[in-house]
Structure 1
Amino acid sequence: MNKYEGEYRGAALQSLLLALGHSEALVEKILKSCGVDRIEPDRWYDLHWGCNVVYGEVVARIGPSAILAVGKKMIEAAVFPPGLDDVRSMLSGLDAAYRLNARGPSIGGITCTFDDDRSATLDWTAAGPCALNIGIIQGCCSRVGARPLVEHGATGCMEHGAPSCIYRVSW
């Protein structure tokens, strides 16, 4: 049984096109192997399909570094709440942004706590691979002019069955 149940907004999935736009033929192959010709920004797609099939296909064909790039580009394609204009508001607004782009009864979430003035801990149960999550964090910080260091916590990883991924972010 899949841990997640819900849908993912096409606009967020279009970050794939932004990140891999330099290779239109590759994007076409990935989309075709996922059973679609294009991703429509206003359409909602099955969450499992979006996270596991599309991103899984990118990892299989290119590798995890491509998913990191997709995460960084997500800030340009996904819907984000207004007023996120510094690192603290951006990181604390990640869950709200996720919920604008994912909907359903079991989609996970993102909890942010600040450790001090220049670091935060994110407890991440939202759907998606780690490389995507790290890319999203980096992209959000870059959007407001910060250069973050993102470290994966040692308490486990959702990709290996842990209930969440913990990310420590400093800037």
Structure 2
Amino acid sequence: MRTFEAASQAVEVNGETVLAIVSGLPFGPAQALRVLAAHGIRDPQPGQWFRQQAWLDAFREIAATLGPNTLYAIGRKIPDQARFPAPITSLHRALAAIDEAYRLNHRGGPIGAYRFEADGPGRALLVCDNPYPSDFDRGIITAMAERHRPAGADVRVTLDPARPTRKQGGDSCTFVVTWEA
């Protein structure tokens, strides 16, 4: 999927997820709410639904003005804000749950996916085929991996350099998640 472009104008994202921008922007909630309002999202609350394209337009503005580190910070807030399935009892389950959560927090048409693949001991892949920026996805994956890693394990999340990335015009990104105690 193309970054910042909803697959359908009918796709919506819930208020819980939208609020990740409010909590993830470094300059505070008032400015975050102004950015959202400029794109038609006013006073987001849990339980409300908003056009995904409006949210993606806010992301595009944030990417252009604040850069990839801010997108990453917003992604790290998603597990705090969005609905996730329970229970999550392992790192593999946490990474697979990202796609399930994505489906709980979006509706109305094709949204893409986060495809989890176990890739040996201490290694997994996540293929992100969705309209969100790569640094945002990396933030989500990193937050989930850190929260659910085995005790004492160090976790690393990197783009797979052997596969296409949205940063280089691809339709998806593949992240490699590794961990070891």
**TM-score, normalised by the number of residues in structure 2:** 0.84
3-state secondary structure, aligned to 1:105: coil
Q: Deviations over 1:66-97 (max 9, x none)?
A: 11000001100000001113211101121111
Report if aligned partners of 2:117, 2:125 keep a CA contact under 8 Å in 1. Answer: yes
Aligned equivalents of 1:96, 1:82: Cα separation in 2:
10
Q: How far apart are 1:110 and its partner, in Å?
A: 1.3
Q: Which residue of 1 aligns with 2:156?
A: 149
Q: Give the letter aligned to residue 148 of structure 1.
A: V
Aligned equivalents of 1:104, 1:69: Cα separation in 2:
27
Superposition CA RMSD, Å:
2.1
Specify whether residues 29 and 3 from structure 1 end up closer, same or farther in structure 2 by C-alpha distance, changes over 3 A only: closer
Report if aligned partners of 2:40, 2:54 keep a CA contact under 8 Å in 1. Answer: no
Q: Deviations over 1:108-159 (max 9, x none)?
A: 0111111112110111112311011000001111222564211112322235
Q: Which residue of 2 aligns with 1:166?
A: 174
Identify which range, 72-81 or 103-112, moves more after superposition. 103-112
Identify which range, 57-66 or 16-25, moves more after superposition. 16-25
Q: Give the letter aligned to residue 27 of structure 1.
A: A
Which of 65, 68, 74 matches 2:69?
65
Specify whether residues 147 and 80 from structure 1 end up closer, same or farther in structure 2 by C-alpha distance, changes over 3 A only: farther
Identify which range, 17-26 or 102-111, moves more after superposition. 17-26
Aligned equivalents of 1:29, 1:19: Cα separation in 2:
14
State how 1:1-171 maps to structure 2 within 5 Å: 2=5, 4-5=7-8, 6-20=11-25, 23-50=28-55, 52-145=56-149, 147-154=154-161, 155-171=163-179
Q: How far apart are 1:163 and its partner, in Å?
A: 2.7
Structure 2 unaligned segments of length 5 or more: list them. none
Aligned equivalents of 1:108, 1:89: Cα separation in 2:
19
**TM-score, normalised by the number of residues in structure 1:** 0.88
Q: How far apart are 1:3 and its partner, in Å?
A: 5.6
Q: What is the identity percentage for the equivalent residue pairs of Structure 1 and Structure 2?
A: 26
